[in-house]
Amino acid sequence: MQRVVLHVDMDYFFAAIEEREKPELQGKAVVVCMLSGRSGLSGAVSTCNYVARESGIRAGMSCSKAKKLNPEAIFLPVRKDFYTSVSDRVMEILRSYADSRETGDAFEQISIDEAFLEITEKTGGDFSLAFEIGIQIKNEIKNKEKLTCSVGIGPNKLIAKMASSIQKPDGITVISSDKIESFLSPLKVSKLWGIGNVTARKLQEMGIVTVKDLAEHDVIDLISTFGKTRGIWLKQAAAGIDDSPVKERGGTEQIGRIATLPEDTLDINSISQLLDRLAEDVISKLDSRGLSFRTVTVTVINSKFRMYTKSRTLNRPAYSKQVLLEVAREILGELLSESQTEFRRVGVRIGQLQKRMGQKSLFDY
């Protein structure tokens, strides 16, 4: 059966979330910055929307340079915890489309806004069916989160990852096995996923400019220059060969939910009711996968769109709703005692997930 891998890349994720939360930003250049705190715009651009990119603004650029390129742009600080809570929900959507395996190795989140899904079993190796699944994923994310994503589909992770960047934003690209050579050959070697600037410069010094040049180059020469492992990988990657599995990365995954309150409030009873529903949803997801947690994080966003976050780490893994709620309510009480501005949104997130071991301890009760 032909292997089918899907890569999902959220479009300008941080800036898109800010646009969603503040509709008045639509149509304006939005730049999200990782600020150093030393002065007003001291820091680097984390991401920006496509309006900002038309001015030449790019991720990694200093915020002061970005300001010079577009003085009218809206500059916002990174709200990592809030973006993570949105990412948690997006990743749960994506996970639901992956093949079902006892090992769980059919889904792989590689960053806050990117993931691979193995969908070989669900599609039976049919790329036309994979395209339909890709459309379903895009529609569900748009309907539930009001965000867009770009999807790449291929016979392995390498091709799927590269395909997702072809039609951005909000696109979908399918590269089946018979299209790999025509897809890769004309690309510059710097476009091959896994090749950085240093390797690209070295290849160019060797007269290797395109992926086709690399595919036709003598593997012995590549090995002598880059070493055996790297040299063989370069040769295989240029041919679109990638056998790496879609495999969940342990230790970094989280499950979270965030929602808007019926009205802005500081009333602990109203907020606790929403917190209870969110915790129940989180535990339901945890139970379905047989996991436990060790960290609990509560996030609140007030009516002025300022975000506050507090976390607790448990002495041992737990997986009951009672434990989650007890810790979450304690954190919520602290956040309420420190705020005089009404809350608009509240979220709960659990982390340090791991497979459950043995029976419940007294702590879980």
Helix (H) or strand (E) holding 172: strand 172-174
3-class secondary-structure state, position 190: helix
Catalytic residue selected from 18, 19, 108, 114: 114
Tell the residue number behind the tokens 């036309």, with chain if given: 128
- Which amino acid is located at 11 in the chain? D
Neighbours of 337 (CB within 10 A): 7
**How, if at all, do strands 307-318 and 43-48 pair?**
unpaired
Residue ranges in the chain assigned as alpha helix (H): 13-21, 50-53, 63-69, 80-95, 120-123, 127-145, 157-163, 180-184, 197-205, 211-216, 219-226, 228-238, 268-288, 321-337
Half-sphere exposure of residue 195: CA atoms within 13 angstroms, side-chain side: 27
Q: Is 114 among the catalytic positions?
A: yes
Tell the residue number behind the tokens 């007003």, with chain if given: 40
Q: How far apart are CA 65 and CA 193, in angstroms?
A: 28
Tell the residue number behind the tokens 């949105």, with chain if given: 86
Q: Which value, in Å, is the radius of gyration of the alpha carbons in the chain?
A: 23
Active site residues: 114
